[in-house]
Amino acid sequence: MHVKVNDNIILVGTAHISKDSVEEVKQVIEEHKPDIVAVELCKRRYESITKKDQWENTPISKLLNSSNAYLLLAQTFLGSIQRKLGKEYGVDPGSEMIAAMDEAKKKGVNVALVDRDITVTLRRAWKRMGFREKFRLAWEFLKALIGYDEEELEEVDLEKLMDQDVISTMMEEFGEIAPSITEVLINERDKYIAKKILEESKKGKVVGVVGAGHLNGIKKYLQKEKIDVDLKELEYVPKKRFSILKTIAYAIPVIFAALMVYIFFFGGWEETLVALGWWFLINGSLSAIGTIIARAHPLTWLTAFVAAPITSLNPAIAAGWVAGYVEAKLRTPVVKDFKELSKIESLRDFWNNKVIRLLMVVALANVGSMIGTFVALPYLIQLGIAV
């Protein structure tokens, strides 16, 4: 669908896997003959669509960072859903954006990327979330990834996607899991895109190609006499002065040390060794189970088992980094694995790809270690009370 906001701005709301959207974009550009075609893409998303081989240059070290592991898993998982749906409906994800840019190039029209950098959006969202929301979001994502049901995709209604494209649907689901980030994921982007389109419209007539889920929000802002938005402010990622997660991470070794001293003082060496044994067994086992679920190499299981109880006491190191390093050495992803990330469509593809396996090892080893820490500490406290 498309709407004329004013004589200088026409918006086209698209679904990312619709042939109709591709054709409509071309028709609107042909009909309105704009000076500028503005697309709802940032540079990173533009490159992910146009440069299919970008994964090949990804350093292995980048995959070992736990925050990157979650982000890359989410990106690949979402992309696989779009490719699965796109294959069903005979069109590649993002085709309407490519069509808009190709049509603009053909007619000698300038193209403007008007969305905020996806990493800025996600980092602002992450900063705004509380501890419970972060944990729930990570848990729901991993649960969805492990329980990825291909049959459910066959029930997707393309007409519904025209009202709410895949990206926007994902954003809304994130908002239900973590309500505090709805402003960042949806409302801020509507303001940002509207402001960028308005700025482009000062140079000439603009056709804006945006996800259908953002159409009404962007239109609402563009119909105002003035959009009171500071783009630099929306691009800024605030630094938290106080972080509950960091506080907990630094508090754990202090609590652990205090418990060991208490148990040794009142129970002696034998009780202290028993407590240490339970700490290693609980923490190490749950982290190792995470790597087993990720189908890691047996030596990686052992690494996670040994590393998790130690890394849990050092906020600067994560069990997933250590386990991921060993997995990367034992099963190093090759160029073919990176290339096939852009072709993943099924659960089988996920589990058979060495890059995805490495990401899963990092993520699940960390999750297992975190759960192990929160299970083991109360148990040690009970042991201390019983001494």
CA 271 remoteness from chain centre: 44
> In the predicted model, what is the mean pLDDT of residues 51-74?
60
Mean pLDDT of the chain: 79
pLDDT of residue 82: 58
pLDDT of residue 133: 77
Split at pLDDT 50, 70, 90, the class of 45 is confident
pLDDT of 30 higher than 80: yes
Q: What is the pLDDT of residues 115-167, one digit of tens each?
A: 998 878 878 887 777 777 777 776 766 665 555 544 444 444 444 444 445 55
Q: Please provide residue 242's backbone torsions phi and psi, each rounded to the nearest 5 degrees.
A: -130, 125
Identify the CA nearest to 278 among candidates 309, 311, 318, 319: 309
Please name the residues in contact with 34: beta carbons below 8 A apart, sequence gap of 6 or more: 10, 109, 204, 205, 206, 207
Nearest-angstrom CA–CA distance, 363 and 297: 15
pLDDT of 44 higher than 60: yes
The tokens of 120 are what?
Answer: 């800025």
Nearest-angstrom CA–CA distance, 360 and 107: 45
Split at pLDDT 50, 70, 90, the class of 305 is very high
- Rounded-to-5 percentages of helix, strand, coil across the chain: 70, 5, 20
pLDDT of 288 higher than 80: yes
Looking at the DSSP assignment, which residues form a beta bridge with residue 39? Answer: 113, 209
Distances (CA, A) of 42 to 3, 49, 221, 235: 23, 11, 20, 12
Split at pLDDT 50, 70, 90, the class of 55 is low
Collapse the DSSP code of 185 into the 3-class scheme (helix H, G, I; strand E, B; otherwise coil) and give the result.
helix
pLDDT of 76 higher than 80: no
Judging by beta carbons within 10 Å of its beta carbon (0-12, 13-18, 19+), is residue 31 exposed, middle or buried?
Answer: exposed
Looking at the DSSP assignment, which residues form a beta bridge with residue 13? Answer: 210
Judging by beta carbons within 10 Å of its beta carbon (0-12, 13-18, 19+), is residue 201 exposed, middle or buried?
Answer: buried
The 8 Å CB, 24+ separation contacts for 377-381 are: 377/252, 377/255, 377/256, 377/259, 379/278, 379/282, 380/256, 380/259, 380/263, 380/275, 380/278, 380/279, 381/259
pLDDT of residue 263: 92
- pLDDT top residue among 163 and 264: 264
